[in-house]
Structure 1
């Protein structure tokens, strides 16, 4: 387990996956991408809430520059990181990125693919790709504007700025910031709140949240129509009304 580039711990209704390449500050290489695909295979078949985090006080320092330097045009078109991050973003149940230390380049883009992002006071997040002669092509150019707005996304991506915890929280990249020792507990507290809800309602909420603007309101109404016929909706609403009587 300690030697795995992705440590995966399954605990009933949740899975915690820890990026674990300490010698490279958890840089994302092909092996790690392959393990993330394996994890997606599992969670697409047996959905659970996913918590993504990094070992050693670092989330992910970026893509592995040693491998990235040798990639050519055909490799770019393959979207090595893009496709696995997209799979993560489309997992049926929520993904929570619990980010400590550096989340740079591809590491930031992995965090952007999560539904909920929380961080520690030590976080440093940004996309310095243009300084290395490339763009942030694994999701930042379309996910980050949805998170922080176009103007702020443009500033971050065009300047290569790296934000600390206070500014990243103010910008809305993270929903909360915690001392490093409290990060894991904070992530599990969010999972606890998610799993207390109806799983199908959570899945449909995520689908609606990720839908393009022109899909609304039709997609919301279609998803709601399915839920209105759900036995779980009937059970939960009946229980609510009975509690209110007491």
Structure 2
């Protein structure tokens, strides 16, 4: 199908194939509007039907000093200004970000430039976040008279701890790329030219693992603390019967014998 606010392609890195989404509303700095939400739902439907690792990134926009990266500047304020109580109760953005977080295979956010508001919440829905020194991350919602209701209020503190999360959420602090890396928001920093290669390399390492074991690990990892170890045992029981387990362990044994 065609997408109006993003591109969605399958890419290869070595022997690995992964999906790449590039947000593409450069004129409004990739602001997340209803069309982008709809496009992301369509992407999720494809990845739920045919699971594979997803890399989400932004586009580049022209500035006075040349092209600069932009991940997503937030929700589209023009649309957000007109939303009312019933729109909030529909959870327009929170539902798509939850769907992204629940995708069967891991999601990697490759962030150059601003990831603010809804853009930060989309990034937080990913399993991994890679960035650049030019990454800017924040939740400026309270300055606009609203809250970070699409995941920021609870996902952020799980990553940074409560005090820094509150400074970002309640005092409008914007973090640099280095600060994001040092506080666990970003896994690693790369130059803008190397960012997608780094994300592709990580996708390749994920693809090299047993796909069923990765899918089960991601799902069990998200379980609440009191579900363990019971869910772990049940999940392991399923994997102990999988052909992938026998083939990979036999290959390991065969290598050791050489």
Gaps of at least 5 residues in structure 2 are: 61-68
Paired position in structure 1 for 2:45: 41
Give the SS at the match of 2:74.
coil
RMSD between aligned residues: 1.5
Give the TM-score normalised by the residue count of structure 1: 0.97
Q: Distance in 2 between matches of 1:214 and 1:148?
A: 23
Q: SS at 1:47's partner residue?
A: coil
Per-residue deviation, residues 26-75 of structure 1 (Å, max 9, x unmatched): 00000000000011111111111100000111000000000001100100
Matches for 1:117-128 after TM superposition, within 5 Å: 117-128=129-140
Number of aligned residues: 246
Shift of 1:2: 11
Shift of 1:4: 3.2
Question: Aligned partners of 1:217 and 1:156: how far apart in 2?
Answer: 34
Whole-angstrom distance in 2 between the partners of 1:28 and 1:151: 28
Q: Partner residue of 1:4?
A: 4
1:213 CA drift (Å): 1.9
Q: How does 1:8-47 map to 2 (within 5 A)?
A: 8-11=8-11, 13-47=17-51
Deviation per CA, 1:119-171, whole angstroms, max 9, x where unpaired?
01100001010000000000111211222222322222111110001111010
Q: CA deviation at 1:241?
A: 1.2
Render the CA deviation track for 1:191-213: whole Å, top value 9, x for unaligned.
Answer: 11000000000001101221122
Matches within 5 A, 1:187-206: 187-206=199-218
Work out whether residues 4 and 39 of structure 2, in 8 Å CA contact, stay in contact via their aligned partners in 1.
no
More divergent stretch after superposition (72-81 vs 140-149): 140-149
What is the match of residue 137 of structure 1?
Answer: 149
TM value normalised by structure 2: 0.92
Q: Assess, with a 3 A threshold, how the Cα gap between structure 1 residues 151 and 218 changes in structure 2: closer, same or farther.
A: farther
Give the drift of 1:11: 3.0
The CA deviation at 1:3 is 8.3
